[in-house]
Amino acid sequence: MKKIFGILGLLIAVCLVTASLSDSFLSAYNVENVLRRSALFGILSIGVAFVIITGGIDLSLGSVVCLVGCALPWLLTVQHWPVPLALLAVVALSLGIGLFHGLLITKLRIQPFIVTLCGLLLYRGIARGFTADQTVGFGNEFKSLRLLATGKVPFFPGFDLPAPLLFLAVVAILAAVFLNRTIYGRYLLALGRNPQAATYSGISTQRMTILAYVVSSGLAGLGGVLFVLDVNSAQPVDFGSFYELYAIAAAVLGGCSLRGGEGSIVGVLVGAALMQVLRNMITLVTTRNNVEFAIIGAVILLGVVADELTRRIAAKRRAAQVLQGATAA
Amino acid sequence: MKKIFGILGLLIAVCLVTASLSDSFLSAYNVENVLRRSALFGILSIGVAFVIITGGIDLSLGSVVCLVGCALPWLLTVQHWPVPLALLAVVALSLGIGLFHGLLITKLRIQPFIVTLCGLLLYRGIARGFTADQTVGFGNEFKSLRLLATGKVPFFPGFDLPAPLLFLAVVAILAAVFLNRTIYGRYLLALGRNPQAATYSGISTQRMTILAYVVSSGLAGLGGVLFVLDVNSAQPVDFGSFYELYAIAAAVLGGCSLRGGEGSIVGVLVGAALMQVLRNMITLVTTRNNVEFAIIGAVILLGVVADELTRRIAAKRRAAQVLQGATAA
Amino acid sequence: NKPAAPSVAEGEGKLKKIAFVTNGVASFWTIASAGVKAAARDLKVDAQTLMPAEGISDQKRMIEDLLTRGIDGIAVSPIDPVNQTELINIAAKKAKVITHDSDAPQSERLLYIGMDNYKAGRMCGEMVREAMPNGGSVMIFIGRLEQDNSKRRRQGTIDAILGRPDNSDHFDEISAVLEGNGFKILGTLTDQFDRAKGKANAEDALAKYPDLGCMVGLFAYNPPLILEALAQSNKLGTVKLVAFDEDDATLDGIEKGTVVGTVVQDPYMYGYKSVEMLSALISGKPGVVPSEKFLDIPARKIRKENVVEFRSELKSRLSAAQ
Amino acid sequence: MSSPILEARAICKSFAGVRALKGVSLAVHPGEVLAVIGENGAGKSTLMKILAGVQAPDTGDLLVDGVGRSIRSVQEALSLGIALIHQELNLAETLDVGANIFLGREPHRWGWIDAGRVSREARAVLGQVGLLVDPGTLVSTLTIGQQQLVEIAKALSVKARVLIMDEPTSSLSDHETQVLLRLIRELRAKGVAIIYISHRLGEVHGIADRVEVLRDGENAGHLSRSEISHAAMVKLMVGRELSQFYPHQTHPSGEVALEVRGLRTAAYPAHAVSFEIRAGEVVGMAGLVGAGRSELLQALFGVVPALAGTVRVAGVPVIAASPRDAMAAGLALVPEDRKHDGLFLEMGVRENLSIATLHRDQRVGFLNRTKERDLCAEMIPAMRIKTPNTEQPVQFLSGGNQQKVVIGKWLATRPRVFLLDEPTRGVDIGAKQEIYRLMEELAAKGVAVLFVSSDLEEILGMSDRVLVLHEGRLNGELSRSELSEEAVMRLATGGNHSTAVAAS
Ligand SMILES: Nc1ncnc2c1ncn2[C@@H]1O[C@H](COP(=O)(O)OP(=O)(O)OP(=O)(O)O)[C@@H](O)[C@H]1O
Ligand SMILES: Nc1ncnc2c1ncn2[C@@H]1O[C@H](COP(=O)(O)OP(=O)(O)OP(=O)(O)O)[C@@H](O)[C@H]1O
Ligand SMILES: [Mg+2]
Ligand SMILES: [Mg+2]
C-alpha cells in the first residue's frame, strides 16, 4: 500500500498543476475524455499486471489490441458476421492467444519475453495480412454496438460517466478481489516471488501462469474491442502500437515489481491515469505536442526520483531519531 | 556454448532455404548488404547484452540511436561544428546517458525498466525538440566521414567487407575478451547471477552495473552514428524506433537469459544476423512484405520451440541410457 | 479515360520487374497499389508494391534488396528527398528510377509523378474560408510534420486561410499562433499515426477552445477521428470540418453536410502512371515521358455537389483491381 | 509393532551424471520418530523429496498404509497426509507469515480466503513453535532463524500423519530447538510418524526411536533405540570412528586483532556493543534467534551500515562501507544464508571458490587462470568437497558441500580476522570436524576467529571465550573456565553474569 502513495501524490500534483494552468481541465467534457482514455489504458494495464505479478512479461498486448481491433470491424463489415458471433470470435481469439502463450511458457519453458515478443511481431502481421493493410472501421453503422465505448451514463446533472469507465470498474473490482481475497490470487503472488515455494506448497504453478497470460490477453482483447469501437477505425500497421509499453509502465509505476510477487490494482489504475493526464495536460497547456513524450518521460522519472528521495530522507530522519532516543536513554 | 547451437542451426537453415529460393541471395552485393545490416544491429545487441547479463534491461537504446543519429548531422550541418568536436560530443552524450542510467539504478535503486523506459520517451522527445521534427542528414557532404559506414574494404576480388563489419569485429572481440578473460567480466556474470552474493564477495556491484549501462548506451551511440552515416538521414520521429526490441530479441535468442548471469557474444551475433537474414529473405523471396513481421515472429517462435523439443528428446534419450547402464550394472 | 497501353514487346521469356515503393503504410497507398495492379495487368509486367513500415532505414533496405533481385524499374516516394539523393542515384545506376508523390529534384531520377502538396493545401485553405466567410478560429490536425509533403500541405492551408501570397518556401513554427484575415490559427497537433491519440487531440482541442470555429484534418485518417470527437460532443455541423483525402467516413460526412469538403489526390493514378512510365522507360520508349520530367496529377476539391460521382468512380477502380 | 504407515522400497534416483540413490529402503511407523542420518550428499534430502512428491523416483515403490502408491505431486502427498519441511527455506518473501503458513491450503469457501481463520490458526501454530510475531508480518523482514520457525509452523499446520523434517534445527539455537523437540514428542504421543534429519547427533540421541543411516545413496545400517549412541552413529555414517571430535587447544593469544567500540546496528540501536579479539583466539558468539548476532557480523563486514562505533583491525581504524573495504582490512565473513549471500548457484565450484580472490590474483585486469586452477586443486581436497569436477554448478552439490565451498572461498582470501556465521549449518559430522580443524589451524597461524553458532555443543567445544548476546546487548562474556551449557543459556535468556556462572 505504502508504495502507491508516491505515485498517487504525483498524479494529484499533476492534476493540480494542470487545473491551475488551464480552465478547461476540470470542465465536464474534458474530465469525461480523460476518464475514458484512462479507463481504456487501465484495462490493458490490469491485464499486464497479472502477468507481471507472476514474474513474467507480456509484450504482445499492443499487437493483440491491433489484431482484435482490426478483426472486429473486419468480421462485421467485410465478412458480415452477426454481432454476437463476431464478438464471440474476438473473445475466443484473445483468450486463445493467452492460452497459447501460457502453454508455450509453462509446457515448453520458453522465456515469456521471447514468446510475447514473437506474439508482438506475429499478431500485427496477421492483422496486416487479412486486412491487406486496409484501414477497417464501422463507418456509420453499428452505432448501438459502439455505445459500449462511446456511451455515457448520467452521473449527476452536467456530468456523465463514460461507458469504458464502467467496464474498468468491473474489471478492477474483480481483479482486486481475485488478487487479495481468493486463494488463486494468493497463489499468483506466491508464484511470482518464489515459484519453488509455490510448487513445494502443492500449487499448480503451470495452471496459475497460464491463467495470468489468459487474463492479460483477454483484457487486451477487451481493450482492443473498446478502442476500435471508440475510435471507429483501425489501421493494422499502427493500431495499438507501443501500448504494451504504456501498460507495463503504468503497472510498474503503480507498484508492480518486475521481479514478481508484488502489485496492487489501485496502484496500476493510478499509474494508467497518470500517463493520460500528462498527455492531456500537454495538449491543454502547451501549443506544441511534439515534446509530449519527453515531458511524460521526464515527469515519470522526476516523480520516481522524488519518491525515492523523500523515502530516504524519512528513513534517515527516523534512524537519527532512534539513535538519539537510544543514546539519550 | 551448447545454448547457441540451436540458434546457429536456425540461421543456417534460413540461409539455405533463402539461397535455394533466390539466386540473388548469395550475390556479392546482397551478402555485403546483409553483412552491413547485421553488423549495425550486432553492435546494438552486444551493448544490450551487457546490461542483460547483469540482470537488467535497456529499453532506451532505440531512442539513444535516434538522439545520436539526429545530433550528429544536426551539429555538423546546422550548427557547423567541426567533425572531431561533433563526434566527441555524441560520444560523450551517449556515454553520459549510460552513466546517468547507471547512477539512477544503483544509487537511487530505481528499477532499470522504469529508468530506461523514461529514457526511451525522453531522448526521442529531445531529438524531436532540437530538430523541431525536421529531418536531418548530410546531403552531399561529409562523404569521407560517411565512409565509416558506407566504406568497403576489399576482401577478395569481387567481394568487399562493409566497414561496419570491421567495427563489429573490434567490438565483438573486445566484448568477448572482456567477458571471458577479465576479472570484471567474471564480476558482471556473477552480479547477474546473484547480486547479493556478489556484494558479499567484495565486488563493487554498483560500479559494475554502471559500467554495463555505459557500455550499452555507448554502443547504442556508436550504432546511431553508423546508422545515420549509412542511411544519410534521420527523422527524429521514427529513427531507431523499436531497435531496442530487435536488439534485446537478438541477445535473448543468442542465449542471454533475462534473469541475468548468462550470455555469449557469439550467440548474440548469430541472433542479430538471423533477424536481418529473415528480413532479407522476405523481400527477396516473396512479393508482399506486409507479413514480414509475422514471418519473423513465426520463424523465431518455431525455431525456439524446435530447439526446446530436440533438447528434450535428447535429454530423455540420455536419461534412458543412464538408467539402462544403471540397471545393467 | 484509361491510358492507352503502349505496345510493349512481350514474350521475351521474362516479364519486366517493377517495384512501387511507398513512404509508409496507409490506405492511400492501398488505392495506389490498386493502380499498380491494374497497370501490371494492362501492360503485362510484374509489378509489386512495397510499403516500408519503419521509416527511412526500412525504405533503404527495401531498395537495396530490390536491386539485389535485379529489378528493372523502381518508383519511389522518398521520405527524405535531399538526403536520399545518393541512394536514388545508386539505384538509378542499376535500374530505371522515378519518384512519385514526393520528389527528389537533385537526384538522377528520370521523372516525378505527383502533385504539388502546397497547392493542394491551398485548396483546403480556400474551403476553410468558404465555410467561415466571417473568419474565426482554426485548428489543424496532422499525422506527422516531418515529411516534406505534410509540411507543404500544412503551409498551403495556412497561407490560403491567412490570405498570404503563393510562397511555398517558408515554414511556420508548429507552436506559433497565427492571425490574419479575420482568422486565428490556434495550432497544429500531431499524433504520429496513433489513432487513439489523434482522437484525443481532437477532443482536447474541443475542450481547450470551446468556441473553436473550424477543424482541418490533413491526413486521411484525421477527418474521421475529428468526426467522432464532434459527434460525441454534439458539435457536428457547429464546428466546421475541412478534410483531406477520401476516407469513407469523410465522404459520408460530405454527403450528410457534416464535412465541408475534402481535397483528394489521385493515388490510383500515381500507381498506374508509375508502372506505365517505368515500363516505357525500360523498353526504351522515352517519347512517352514528358520532357519537363514532371507528370502532374492534380488534386481536386470534393464537395457535396460532386461527392457521389467521385465515390462511384473510386469504387469501380478499386473493384477492378481486385 | 504396528505396520508401517509409509514405506519406501529400493528407491533409485539419478541426476545428470550423479546417482543419488541406489536402491534405498525405509519404513516409518505411527507414533515413531525415525532419525535419518548420513554424511552430506548421502541422499537424505533426495529421498525425502521423493517421499513428499517433489521429485519422482526412477525406480522403486512407495507404500502408504501398505498400499502401493505413486506419489506424483506435492498435492498428492499432502492428501495422503505426508508433509515435508525442506532443508532450504522455501517461503514467498513478499507475502506475510500467515499467507506462507497456509500457502496452497488456505481455508476458503468457493475460493474465498477466510482471512480471520488464517490469522487465528496461524497465531496458534506460531505460538506452538514459540515464534511471537504477528501473522501479518512480511516474511522478508524476518531473520533466517525466524523464517525456519515459520517453515516448521507451516508443516505443523498441515496436521500430517507423516511429518518429515529435513534439518529443521540447522539455524535454530538451543532454546528454539528444545521447543521443537518438545513439540515432536507431543506429536509422537498423538500417533504422528516423524522422520527427522539432523547433523546434530545430540538431538538425534535425545529424540529418535530408531536411526536409519544412509551412505552414498545406500542403506548403511540402522540402530534401535537401545543401540543409539554417538559413537555408533558416527561409525555407521563415516565408516570409522572419529577421535577427539572438538580439536580445541588453548592458544597463546597475541596482539588485539579486532577491536570493536560502541558499535550500534539498525536492529538494536539502543545497545552499543564493545569487545576485542586477539590474534590466535577462537571466540564463540551465542544468543537466541534474533539476538542480533548476524547483524553484528554484517555491520563489521560492511554489508549493513553501522549506526555508530569504531572498529580497528590490528590497531588500524577501519571504516567498512562495503565488504570490499572490510576485505582490504583483512576481514572475511562466511555468511549465514549461503544460498542468498554466499553462492552463485548456477556457477561452477571453481568460479565460486575463486570469486573473492580474483581481484588479488589478477594480471592487470585479466583472469589468472593458473592461480584459479591451483586454488581448486588446493581447496577441493583440503576441504574434502565432494564434487564430480570443478565445473559442477554448486546448486547440484549437497548442502554441506555447498557450505564447504563458501568457507573455502573465504579461506582463500587469507584473512586476518575470520568471521563465521553459523559455519556448520547443515554440515555433516565429518565435514564439521574438518571445519573445526580449519578453525584451529587458522588460530594457530595467528588468525582471529569469531564464530556465531546456535549449536551449543559447538560453542562449548570450540571457544576460547564466548560472547553472549541478548536482544542486541552484549550480556556477558564467559572464559573457557566459566563455560557451561547452563551459563550460556542463562546469559542468552537475559540473566546476569554472576548468577550465570554461579549456577553452573
Ligand atoms: N537436482 C540435482 N541435480 C544433480 N545432482 C543432484 C541434485 N540434487 C541432488 N543431487 C546430488 O545428489 C546427491 C544427494 O544429495 P542430497 O541433497 O540428497 O544429500 P543429503 O544427504 O541431503 O546431503 P546434506 O546433508 O548435505 O543435505 C548429491 O551428490 C547431490 O550433489
Ligand atoms: N530486514 C530486517 N527488517 C527488520 N528487522 C530485522 C531485519 N533483519 C533483522 N531484523 C531484526 O534484527 C534482529 C537481529 O537479527 P539477526 O539476524 O542479527 O539475529 P541473529 O542473532 O543472527 O538470529 P538468527 O539466528 O535468527 O539469525 C532481529 O530481532 C530481527 O527481527
Ligand atoms: Mg540434505
Ligand atoms: Mg543469525
pLDDT of residue D17: 66
Q: What percent of chain A has pLDDT over 90?
A: 43
Chain B residues whose CB is inside 8 A of the D362 CB are 183
Compute the count of residue pairs across chains A and D with CB atoms less than 8 Å apart.
Answer: 90
Could you give phi then psi for residue D10, rounded to 5 degrees? 50, 55
Q: Does A3 touch chain D (CB under 8 A)?
A: no
- Asked whether B43 and B56 are in contact (CB, 8 A), the reply is no
Query: Which of B108, B258, B293 shows the shortest C-beta gap to A308?
Result: B108
Q: How many CB atoms lie within 10 A of CB D377?
A: 11
Query: Which of C25, C233, C249 shows the shortest C-beta gap to A237?
Result: C25
**DSSP summary character for residue D138:** B
Interface touch D269/A323, C-beta < 8 Å: yes
Chain B residues whose CB is inside 8 A of the D340 CB are 194, 196-197
Alpha helices, H only, D158-305? 174-189, 201-207, 230-238, 293-300
pLDDT at D503 over 70: no
How far apart, in whole angstroms, are the C-alpha atoms of residue A222 and residue D330? 61
3-state helix, strand, coil in chain B (%, to 5): 75, 5, 20
How far apart, in whole angstroms, are the C-alpha atoms of residue D156 and residue D128? 9
User: Which of D22, D195, D219, D398 is the pocket-test mutation for ligand 1 (most atoms within 8 Å of CB)?
Assistant: D398
Nearest chain A Cα to C248, which residue?
A139
A-interface mutation test, from D84, D87, D97, D103, most A Cβ less than 10 A away: D103
Write out the DSSP string of B156-207: ETTEEEEHHHHHHHHHHHHHHHHHHHBHHHHHHHHHHH-HHHHHHTT--HHH
Interface touch A197/D92, C-beta < 8 Å: yes
> D with B: 3 or more CB pairs under 8 Å?
yes
- Asked whether A268 and A256 are in contact (CB, 8 A), the reply is yes
pLDDT of residue B183: 94
Query: Which of A113, A122, A132 shows the shortest C-beta gap to B298?
Result: A122
For B318, the grid coordinates are 540420455
Interface touch A283/C208, C-beta < 8 Å: yes
Chain C residues whose CB is inside 8 A of the A30 CB are 203-204, 207
* Burial (CB count within 10 angstroms: exposed 0-12, middle 13-18, buried 19+), residue B280: buried
Cβ neighbors of B75 (< 8 A, separation 6 or more) are B81, B85, B86, B89, B90
Q: Cell 491567412 maps to which residue?
A: C162
**DSSP summary character for residue A258:** T
Q: What is the ipTM of this complex?
A: 0.81
Nearest chain D Cα to A182, which residue?
D112
Task: Please report which ligand is nearest the Cα atom of D454.
Answer: 2
- Taking CA atoms, D466 is separated from D284, D461, D469, D478, in Å, by 5, 11, 10, 5
pLDDT of residue C322: 62
- The pLDDT mean for chain C works out to 86
Tell me how far the alpha carbon of residue D18 lies from the centroid of ligand 1, in angstroms. Answer: 9
pLDDT of residue D73: 87
Q: What is the pLDDT of residues D259-316, one digit of tens each?
A: 999 999 888 888 899 999 999 999 999 988 888 899 999 999 999 988 888 999 988 8
Q: Does C228 touch chain B (CB under 8 A)?
A: no
Residue B242 Rama label (left phi>0; alpha psi -120 to 50; beta): left
Q: Does A232 touch chain C (CB under 8 A)?
A: yes
Cβ neighbors of C206 (< 8 A, separation 6 or more) are A29, C212, C229, C230, C233, C235, C239
User: What is the average pLDDT across C21-31?
Assistant: 82
Q: Report which of D62, D57, D72 is spatially closest to residue D19, judged by C-alpha positions.
A: D57
Task: Please report which ligand is nearest the Cα atom of D401.
Answer: 1
Provide the residue ranges of all domains of chain B, joining segments of one domain with +: 2-292
Q: What is the pLDDT of residues B273-314, one digit of tens each?
A: 998 898 888 878 776 667 778 888 888 888 888 878 877 887
Residue B321: pLDDT band (50, 70, 90) is low
Q: What is the pLDDT of residues C73-89, one digit of tens each?
A: 999 998 878 778 888 99
Q: Chain D, 243-302: which have a CB under 8 Å from a chain B CB?
A: 301
Class of domain B2-292: mainly alpha
**DSSP summary character for residue D96:** B
Tell me how far the alpha carbon of residue C6 lies from the centroid of ligand 2, in angstroms. Answer: 90
Q: Name the minimum distance, in Å, from the CA of A80 to any CA of chain C.
A: 18
Write out the DSSP string of D302-367: TSS--SEEEEEETTEEE--SSHHHHHHTTEEEE-S-IIIII--TTSBHHHHHHTTTHHHH-BTTB-
Most confident of A259-273, B9-23, B54-68, D141-155: B54-68
Report CA D412 to chain centroid distance, whole Å: 22
Query: Which of D59, D301, D366 shows the shortest C-beta gap to B181?
Result: D366
Q: Chain D, 86-105: which have a CB under 8 Å from a chain A CB?
A: 86, 90-95, 99-100, 103-105
- Asked whether B14 and B278 are in contact (CB, 8 A), the reply is yes
Chain B residues whose CB is inside 8 A of the A110 CB are 304-305, 308
SS3 D274: strand
pLDDT of residue C285: 78
How far apart, in whole angstroms, are the C-alpha atoms of residue B275 and residue B280? 9
SS3 C2: coil
Cβ neighbors of C13 (< 8 A, separation 6 or more) are none
Nearest chain C Cα to A280, which residue?
C204
User: Which of D94, D129, D143 is the pocket-test mutation for ligand 2 (most atoms within 8 Å of CB)?
Assistant: D143
pLDDT of residue C9: 43
Chain D residues whose CB is inside 8 A of the A183 CB are 106, 108, 111-113
Interface touch C204/A233, C-beta < 8 Å: no
- Asked whether D75 and A202 are in contact (CB, 8 A), the reply is yes
Residue B319: pLDDT band (50, 70, 90) is low
Q: Report which of D42, D54, D59 is spatially closest to residue D8, judged by C-alpha positions.
A: D59
**DSSP summary character for residue D211:** E
Assigned CATH for D256-343+415-503? 3.40.50.300
Q: What percent of chain B has pLDDT over 70?
A: 95
pLDDT at A266 over 90: yes
- Asked whether D100 and D90 are in contact (CB, 8 A), the reply is no
Chain A residues whose CB is inside 8 A of the D74 CB are 199-202
How far apart, in whole angstroms, are the C-alpha atoms of residue D303 and residue D334? 12
- Strand pairing class (D308-313; D316-318): antiparallel
Interface touch C206/A230, C-beta < 8 Å: no
Q: Does B259 touch chain D (CB under 8 A)?
A: no
Q: How many CB atoms lie within 10 A of CB C309?
A: 10
Q: Name the minimum distance, in Å, from the CA of A287 to any CA of chain B.
A: 13
Q: Report which of D52, D58, D89 is spatially closest to residue D73, judged by C-alpha positions.
A: D52
Q: Does C80 touch chain A (CB under 8 A)?
A: no
pLDDT at C12 over 50: no
- Strand pairing class (D417-421; D331-334): parallel
pLDDT of residue C102: 84
Nearest chain A Cα to C27, which residue?
A134
pLDDT of residue A1: 46
How far apart, in whole angstroms, are the C-alpha atoms of residue D151 and residue D145? 10
> D with C: 3 or more CB pairs under 8 Å?
no
User: What is the average pLDDT across D62-79?
Assistant: 89
pLDDT of residue C4: 42
Nearest chain A Cα to D308, which residue?
A323
Q: Cell 572464559 maps to which residue?
A: D479
Residue D331: pLDDT band (50, 70, 90) is very high
Topology of domain D6-238, per CATH?
Rossmann fold (3.40.50)
pLDDT of residue B266: 94
CATH 3.40.50.300 domain locations along chain D: 6-238, 256-343+415-503
| pTM check: above 0.80 | yes
Residue A242 Rama label (left phi>0; alpha psi -120 to 50; beta): left
Is ligand 1 within 6 A of the CB of residue D170? no
Neighbours of ion ligand 3 (CB under 5 A): D 45, 87, 399
- Asked whether D231 and D241 are in contact (CB, 8 A), the reply is yes
Report CA A24 to chain centroid distance, whole Å: 26
How far apart, in whole angstroms, are the C-alpha atoms of residue D148 and residue D151? 5
Q: Which residues pair with D282 in a beta bridge?
A: D449
pLDDT at B35 over 80: yes
Interface touch C56/B236, C-beta < 8 Å: no
- Give, for D284, the enclosing helix (H) or strand (E): strand D282-287
How far apart, in whole angstroms, are the C-alpha atoms of residue B82 and residue B76? 7
SS3 B113: helix
Strands (E), A123-261: 136-137, 152-156, 159-162, 233-234
Could you give phi then psi for residue D181, rounded to 5 degrees? -65, -35
